[in-house]
Amino acid sequence: MGATVTVTIDDSRLVRMINGSKGDITPMIIADAVEYGIYQELGQEGRPARPCARPAVESVRPEFEAMFHTDEALTRAGVQGIVKKGASRVEILWKQNIVTKGVVDTGAYLNGVHVEEA
């Protein structure tokens, strides 16, 4: 018979987080208010992509995931706060990317990036 391995998982933190949030977390949407934002992000025929949203999300992802390992994440208010902080951080970085990447914009794209409750 082969060797056996016993794995013990301590999910008490996860259980406390779920019980503390009671499932009533308000999702947040980060969006732009222009029709052409998707073309800036993905490019189009004859025009290169100038991704601004994806890099913002990817740069916030590790920080966002780490916040769920804090004591703040054990309550509904804490989880909601983390969701809002993450969304706000993405909004800020998305706007910074629009400026630093030299995306051609009349100001509508930059000013249209916003966070709202779903």
Full pLDDT tens readout for the chain, 118 residues: 566 666 677 767 667 666 666 667 788 899 999 999 999 999 989 989 999 999 999 999 998 888 878 877 777 778 888 889 999 999 999 999 999 988 888 899 999 999 999 8
Count of structural domains, the chain: 1
Is residue 1 a part of any domain in this protein?
Answer: no
- Residue 58 domain flag: yes
Asked if the structure places residue 92 within a domain, the reply is yes
Would you say residue 38 lies in a domain? yes
Residue 4: inside a domain: no
Task: Establish if 68 belongs to a structural domain.
Answer: yes
CA distances from 6 to 3, 9, 14 (A): 10, 10, 21
Q: Tell whether 79 is covered by a domain.
A: yes
